[in-house]
């Protein structure tokens, strides 16, 4: 079994965000927008926006195909 720990967490507080209590995925967290969190929809907003920007153009907006 493996465990994971954030390099910025020190005694339950985030050294990266003004020593606020550590809450993975909170605004300003290095994990925000990179990973999907099951416990909160608020934390997944940036991830969804990022995925939407990367997704291809929907079929109805693609230019018409040219016959060769």
pTM: 0.50
Look up residue 59 and give its DSSP letter.
G
Torsion, CA 47, CA 50, CA 54, CA 58, rounded to 10 = 80
Look up residue 21 and give its DSSP letter.
B
Looking at the domain assignment, is residue 66 inside a domain?
Answer: no
- Average pLDDT of the chain, as a whole number: 76
Q: How many domains does the chain have?
A: 1
Two tokens, residue 18? 């003004």
Three-state DSSP at 14 gives strand
Structural domain range at position 46: 9-56
Tell me: pLDDT of 45 over 60.
Answer: yes
Residue 3 or residue 5, greater confidence: 5
Q: Is there a contact between 9 and 30 (Cβ–Cβ < 8 Å)?
A: no
């Amino acid at each position: 079994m493996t465990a994971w720990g954030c390099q910025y967490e020190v005694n339950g507080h985030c050294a990266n965000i003004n020593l606020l209590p550590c809450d993975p995925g909170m605004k300003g967290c290095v994990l925000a927008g990179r990973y999907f969190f099951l416990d909160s929809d608020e934390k997944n907003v940036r991830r969804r926006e990022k995925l939407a920007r990367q997704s291809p153009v929907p079929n109805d907006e693609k230019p018409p195909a040219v016959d060769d």
